[in-house]
Amino acid sequence: MLKNRRLARAIADVGLHKLKTYLEHKAQWYARETRVIDRWFPSTKTCSAC
């Protein structure tokens, strides 16, 4: 069972990497910028008033 979870995780990671690569390519194509933020960046709370 643990082996299946690892395989599923590996497949999911490849999928996310492919998506990131695709988005970066499209951004370059349209002269846009992509930004990668830290996984734990508190993006839902950007200021104390929110």
Query: For 7-26, what is each residue's pLDDT tens digit?
Result: 777 878 888 889 899 999 99
**pLDDT value of residue 32:** 95
Are 37 and 43 spatial neighbours (Cβ–Cβ below 8 Å)? yes
In a domain, 40, yes or no: no
- The C-alpha atoms of residue 38 and residue 14 are separated, in whole angstroms, by 19
**What does the mean pLDDT of the chain come to?**
82
Give the count of domains, the chain: 1
Rounded mean pLDDT of 32-42?
86
Q: Band of the pLDDT at 50, cuts 50, 70, 90? A: low
In-domain check, residue 1: yes
Q: Give the closest residue to 36 by CA, choosing from 24, 28, 48.
A: 24
On whether residue 13 sits in a domain, the answer given is yes
**HSE of 20 in the Cβ direction (CA atoms, 13 Å)?**
9
Residue span of the structural domain in which 20 resides: 1-32
